[in-house]
Structure 1
């Protein structure tokens, strides 16, 4: 099969491509690379022109204040120019209803042309999208990425990207894509639970992790326990990173000679994964039920990851032992959990091995790629 993968926010599509390629299929990724993260793509639609110099960036900001987003316009234009090369694929998968990251009205036109020259389309739900945001706003979940906003409406500006999916134009785009999609796939329980609760028919396929390319190194503490926190300012609030920062301040005072802290901010993906290589513990996010892509890759490397590992997750995978630490929005709880590992370094090594074993069993990229092929109807 020839598969076109549109969009990339977490390296999910890259790992899926690697699995498909190993199985003898051809996959092509088109996307922006997601800003500073710089994920790999075969065809880039990143807005290079409007960000090429200071003068253009000035106009971008000026037009943005008037409600005109030149970056979105350029992404759409670049995708349009690529359309002659994006044809003859047996299947198309969108990583989001607005995978092109352009104006919703323009996205519909581009998708329509894309579908005319290719096979069926899947919609992947693996991040913010209209039904996910809708369900989070109902307050039916114990907590969600929207909990900070629901508790403090002054944070609305920090949630501009997420809340845009509730606007009529993005809602209309989602409905259009949903109706045209042959199937809807969810990548983890943070999306499967809301979609099922809202009555959608979905296929749950865990994130693919290339365990052949990620070396496992047991987390053995020889001197200090090294804790890593990678901050993304764009998602700082909805990931609850302030709880980690507050916990680390307490930990640094409590164990001045026993811990080493590594804190980074807004760095490219390739640099990010190198910087946490030496860490024993990685702090990911608190408002989650399942693990996102960064957490899964860190677990594959053998890190103790503080992330989503709620009851829904342990029950789904029938786990009897922890493979990750369920990070909750409570500083005292985080401090207690971190203290346990600092005082019991052998527990770090044991959990490190369980994490890797879990990834190999449930997230192997070849097994996951076969599940996608099954949904797409490949022989």
Structure 2
């Protein structure tokens, strides 16, 4: 089969591509590379004029202030339009989001109409924020979510511009358009299965052949890694980790080491956490995101989403990661337990790797996608 994957935010589509290629399929990715993360793509729609050129970045800011129009979005759409002649005769097209092209919604619909028309089957993968996800979370019916800070403090609305745009009519119309055009909608983890219970869940693929497992050996300090993406720090609850780390440093001093990173490219990010034993990911999740899964594949102990919905879904009786909560005292207690019981760090790390191999193996997951696409 010839398969086109549209969009890339976390390396999900790259890992899926690697699994599909191992099964002898031809796969291409078209995406921006997600700005500073710089994920590999086959066809790039990265807005290099209005993102990489400092003068044009300044001009765009002025233009936006006057006309409320972001030329970065226009550039992405134009680049996609020029590539359309090459995006033909694919057996499957999969969007990673209804807004996978990341241009203006009216332009997205125009481009997607052509894309869908010149290819065979089309699918939508919900693996992040999108209209039905934000609609569900705004109802405030779950114990917490990425919108909890906003629901507790409306003044944080400017920090949720990206999330709330999906409730606007133009983005809502785009989602409705895509949902009617695709054959099927899938979700990538329980954080999206809860809002969309009728959709099929296909877990994130993780290329374990590219991620080597090294059993944790603690000879001196216990190293804790805290990566920060400034654009999503509030939604991930990073402040809870930061406060907990201050207490841990005072409590344990030279027994622990802290690695802090902000907005690092993907290749740099994964290199920097290699020497860590514990990785702090997010507090507002029910399941693991992509960074957490890759760290677990390396055998790290990850503080992330691991709620009862997760343990029940996978029938787990022992911890493969630590369920992080928006509670500083709880985080301090969990970190303290691991620091004082380093054997447990080693044990969780081994179970984490085994879990990834069983439930997230990239070739097994690629086959699940093939089975789903071929059901139609």
If the length of structure 2 is used for normalisation, what is the TM-score? 0.99
In the TM superposition, what is the alpha-carbon distance from 1:64 to its structure 2 partner?
1.9
Which residue of the partner structure matches residue 354 of structure 2?
A: 357
- 8 Å Cα contact 1:220-1:348 kept in structure 2: no
| 1:44-77 per-position Cα deviation (integer Å, ceiling 9, x unaligned) | 0000112343321111111222310100000000
Structure 1 gap segments, 5+ residues each: none
Which residue of the partner structure matches residue 264 of structure 1?
A: 261
Q: How well do the aligned residues superpose, as a CA RMSD in angstroms?
A: 1.0
Q: How does 1:227-242 map to 2 (within 5 A)?
A: 227-242=224-239
1:249 and 2:246 equivalent?
A: yes
How far apart are the structure 2 equivalents of 1:116 and 1:323? 44
Secondary structure at the counterpart of residue 214 of structure 1: coil
Q: How does 1:340-379 map to 2 (within 5 A)?
A: 340-377=337-374
Q: How does 1:184-333 map to 2 (within 5 A)?
A: 184-196=185-197, 201-333=198-330
Secondary structure at the counterpart of residue 250 of structure 1: helix
How far apart are the structure 1 equivalents of 2:52 and 2:13? 27
In the TM superposition, what is the alpha-carbon distance from 1:378 to its structure 2 partner?
7.7
- 8 Å Cα contact 1:91-1:376 kept in structure 2: yes
How far apart are the structure 2 equivalents of 1:161 and 1:55? 25
How far apart are the structure 1 equivalents of 2:236 and 2:221? 27
Which residue of the partner structure matches residue 44 of structure 1?
A: 44
- 8 Å Cα contact 1:97-1:129 kept in structure 2: yes
How far apart are the structure 1 equivalents of 2:51 and 2:283? 33
- 8 Å Cα contact 1:76-1:102 kept in structure 2: yes
How far apart are the structure 1 equivalents of 2:110 and 2:284? 35
In the TM superposition, what is the alpha-carbon distance from 1:203 to its structure 2 partner?
1.2
How far apart are the structure 1 equivalents of 2:335 and 2:49? 46
In the TM superposition, what is the alpha-carbon distance from 1:213 to its structure 2 partner?
1.1
Secondary structure at the counterpart of residue 30 of structure 1: strand
How far apart are the structure 2 equivalents of 1:177 and 1:3? 18
1:160 and 2:125 equivalent?
A: no
- 8 Å Cα contact 1:13-1:29 kept in structure 2: yes
Which residue of the partner structure matches residue 14 of structure 2?
A: 14
Q: How does 1:65-214 map to 2 (within 5 A)?
A: 65=65, 66-196=67-197, 201-214=198-211
How far apart are the structure 2 equivalents of 1:77 and 1:43? 13
How far apart are the structure 2 equivalents of 1:372 and 1:52? 35
Secondary structure at the counterpart of residue 29 of structure 1: strand
| 1:141-196 per-position Cα deviation (integer Å, ceiling 9, x unaligned) | 11000000000011011100011000000000000000111001100000011112
How far apart are the structure 1 equivalents of 2:39 and 2:183? 27
How far apart are the structure 2 equivalents of 1:64 and 1:39? 27
How far apart are the structure 1 equivalents of 2:17 and 2:299? 23
- 8 Å Cα contact 1:226-1:260 kept in structure 2: yes
Q: How many residue pairs are counted as aligned between the two chains?
A: 375
- 8 Å Cα contact 1:192-1:204 kept in structure 2: yes
Secondary structure at the counterpart of residue 185 of structure 1: strand
